[in-house]
Amino acid sequence: MIQPGPIKALGDVIQIAYLPEDFDAAVKYWTETMGVGPFFLMENIRLGEMRYRGQPSDAAFSIAIGYWGDIQIELIRAENDAPSIYTGEYAVTDRMHHICIFVDSIADARAACARIGAEILVEGKVGDTGEVIYVDAGGGPGHVVELLQPAAGSDGLFAMMKEAARDWDGADPLRVLA
């Protein structure tokens, strides 16, 4: 029997992320054309102890997350030009930017990535208890894999977003989270 590759063995894809050239137009497309929503906007995010290709970075970005069934659709907007996957060669726009897999252990995720020679592009802390790495497993820009060990309490936030999408009537398509 064929065993799943090291990345697949970490878990299922829970998110497809895009870095649109026009953020507002992307929200409109996903809500009005695709029927995905509502989106929840988190602005000016900075990862704790963020490193891009091993060097400290103060990249800031905003994200909007909406659910399409069990899959998150994430729209990203870079808020500064600090080195990150949202600027430079990895900043592919208007197509899939990356996918995300939730992991129980970022250490296990790092080990799986090391086994296949994946390059860690971004690493950082998410809140007090979460961690994230974004890796290039060999596919290059547009094929980045985010491996997220969610911060405590994130499951409640994501459950709220998913529930809001369940019977969404199109009202209030972009909701700002403080």
Element containing residue 72 per DSSP (H, E):
strand 71-78
CATH number for the region 8-166 comes to: 3.10.180.10
Give the distance from CA 57 to its chain's centroid: 18
**Residue 4 has what pLDDT?**
65
**Residue 178 has what pLDDT?**
78
DSSP state of 32: I
Instruction: Single out the residue of 60, 66, 52 nearest to residue 15, CA to CA.
Output: 66
**Residue 6 has what pLDDT?**
86
What string of pLDDT tens digits covers the 178 residues of the chain? 666 678 999 999 999 999 999 999 999 999 999 999 999 999 999 999 999 999 999 999 999 999 999 999 999 999 999 999 999 999 999 999 999 999 999 999 999 999 999 999 999 999 999 999 999 999 999 999 999 999 999 999 999 999 999 999 999 999 999 7
Instruction: Single out the residue of 9, 7, 18, 11 nearest to residue 135, CA to CA.
Output: 7
Element containing residue 113 per DSSP (H, E):
helix 106-116
C-alpha dist (Å) from residue 135 to 3, 94, 102, 148, 177: 21, 20, 14, 11, 27
State pTM to two decimals.
Answer: 0.95
Tokens 């060999």: give the residue: 138
Distance CA 63, CA 95 (A): 16
Distance CA 176, CA 33 (A): 21
User: Hey, how many other C-beta atoms are within 10 angstroms of the C-beta on 117?
Assistant: 9
